[in-house]
Amino acid sequence: MSKRVLPVILVIVSSLLLLGLAYSFFWPTAVRPTPLSAFTAPFVYGHFQIPADNPLTKEGVALGRLLFYDKRLSADNTVSCATCHLQRLAFTDGKARSVGVSGKELAFNSMSLANTLWGPQHFFWDGRAQSLEEQALIPIQHPDEMAQDLDQLIDELTADEHYLKLFRQAYGEINAKNIAFAIASFERTLVSANSKYDQFLRGELKLSADEELGRKLFMAHPDVKASLRGGNCIDCHSQFLTSGFNAKFDGFANNGLDSDSNLKPGLEKITKMKADRGKFKVPTLRNIALTAPYMHDGRFATLRQVLDHYDQGIKVSATLSPLIMEATNQPSDSEQLQISLNLSEDEKLAIIAFLHTLTDYTFIDNENFSNPFPIKRVPHE
C-alpha cells in the first residue's frame, strides 16, 4: 500500500514545484527589478534607511527620474517637479516662493532635494509629510502647485506604452503608490558629497585661511568664558551633513525670524503643540550658495542678509531656540536680554566663505540627475 502511495505523492509534489517555478517565471506581475548596486554614500554621513517596501532599484530610479521631469504630472501639462526643483540650483527655483499652475505664489520657498536620505525624515518646511513617498503626491495634487487629479494622471500614464513598460519592469501596475515610490527612489539618489568641504574632509585639499576660519566659527557655539568664538551654526546644522538633526523633530527650530505676534504656525500645525509654534525644518546647507533666497518664506535674498539676521536681527518669541538666545561672542552688561552674536565683519565674511565651500559642481552637473527628455524611443518589435 505505502509503496504505491509514495511515488504518487512524489509526482504530485514535484509537479507542484514545477508549477510554482513556471508561475514565478512567466506570470506577468512577477516583478524582478535590479537592485541599485552602485549606490554609495560618504562614511561621515552616517546611517541611512531606505524603506523595506521600496528598495532602490535601477528601474525604479529611472522611472522616478522620468516622472520627476514629466510635465504631464500637472493638470495642464505645464509644470513638472523640476519646474520648482532645478538641478543647476541644487533643485531649488531661485524664487522667494514658488509658483505653480495657478500662478499664485505658494506659502513656502522651494527646498533643495540634496541628501534627503539624511536629516529630518519629515518633509516640507513644516514637516507635514512623514516620508518621501508621502511627500511626492502632495504637490502633484495641490491646487496651486500641479493641480492634478491622481486618477486622471494614472489614465494618462496608462495610455503611454513606454510608461506601461517601465512601471511593469519596476513595480507592476501604474497606480498612485507606485508613482510615489518611483519619485521617492529617484530623490533618494540625489546625493551631494563632492563639494570643496567634502574634499577637505577626505584630506584632498586645504581650505583657504578665510574658509578655515569660517569652518571653525560654523562648528562652534560661542563660549565667552572659555574664550571660544563661534557662529553658532552647528547648534542646528549638523557638522558633516549641515542638515537638521534626524531624530524625532530635533531638526526643527525657531530661528528668530518673527516675534510672537506674527509667528507662523510651522511645526505646530503637525504636532498641535504650542511649544512647536514658529519652528521650521532646518534645511541642509549643502549648495547653499546656489539656493537663494533663504528661509521658509524666502525673505532673505543673500547669504549676507542671513548672517546679519543671526548676528543682529533675532526677534524674540516664546519658542525661540534657547541656544540662539544665549549665544554671544561679547556679552553686554545690560540687565535687559539683548540677543546678538556680535561677530566681527571679518568673521561674517569668513562664514560666508565657508558656506561657499559647500557648493558641489559634480552634483549639479551629474547627468544621472538631469532631464531625460526627449526620450529616444526604441521601435516596437
Partner 1 sequence: MNKIWIPLFSVFVLLAFSWLYLVNHKQAGTVTLQFQARVGDKPLEFNQTRYANPGGEGKFQIRHLQLYLSNIQLQGKEQRFQVADSYHLARFDNAAKSYLLELHDVPYDKYSKVNISIGVDESANASIMARGDLDPNNRMAWNWQVGYKFILFEGTLAHAQKIQPLVYHVGFSENLKALQFHLPEPITPGSAPVNFDVDILAMFSSSVNINMAALPTVKFDRNDARLIAENYASMITLSADDSAYSALEKSEP
Task: Report d(CA 160, CA 251) in Å as an integer.
Answer: 41
Taking CB under 8 A as the criterion, the residue among 102, 144, 326, 371 binding partner 1 is 326
Query: Is-contact 301 104, C-beta < 8 A?
Result: no
End-to-end CA distance of the chain: 56
Q: 232's torsion region: left (phi>0), alpha (psi -120 to 50) or beta?
A: left
How far CA 127 is from CA of 23, 98, 275, 279, 377, in Å, comes to 43, 18, 15, 10, 39
Taking CB under 8 A as the binding criterion, the range among 95-103, 180-188, 268-276, 343-351 that sits at the site for partner 1 is 268-276
Nearer to partner 1 by C-beta: 98 or 238? 238
Taking CB under 8 A as the criterion, the residue among 11, 209, 325, 365 binding partner 1 is 325
Taking CB under 8 A as the binding criterion, the range among 63-71, 165-173, 186-194, 273-281 that sits at the site for partner 1 is 273-281
Q: Alpha-carbon torsion 363, 369, 372, 373, what sign?
A: negative
Task: Report d(CA 91, CA 110) in Å as an integer.
Answer: 8
Taking CB under 8 A as the criterion, the residue among 15, 24, 78, 239 binding partner 1 is 239
* Binding string, residues 282-321; x marks residues near partner 1 by CB under 8 A: ----------------------------------------
Is residue 116 close enough to count as binding partner 1 by CB under 8 A?
no
User: Shortest distance, CB of residue 269 to partner 1, whole angstroms?
Assistant: 17
Count the site residues for partner 1 by CB under 8 A: 32
**Amino acid identity at 343:** L
Nearer to partner 1 by C-beta: 79 or 267? 267
The DSSP result for 290-327, as a single string, is GS-SBSTT--B-SHHHHHHHHHH-PPP-TT--HHHHH-
Taking CB under 8 A as the criterion, the residue among 41, 147, 219, 289 binding partner 1 is 219
Q: 284's torsion region: left (phi>0), alpha (psi -120 to 50) or beta?
A: beta
**Sole residue written with cell 502633484:** 140
Nearer to partner 1 by C-beta: 45 or 186? 45
Nearer to partner 1 by C-beta: 64 or 119? 119
Q: Give the interface with partner 1 as residue ranges (CB under 8 A).
A: 44-47, 118, 219-221, 223, 225-226, 228, 234, 238-241, 243, 245-248, 250, 273-275, 322-323, 325-326, 335, 337
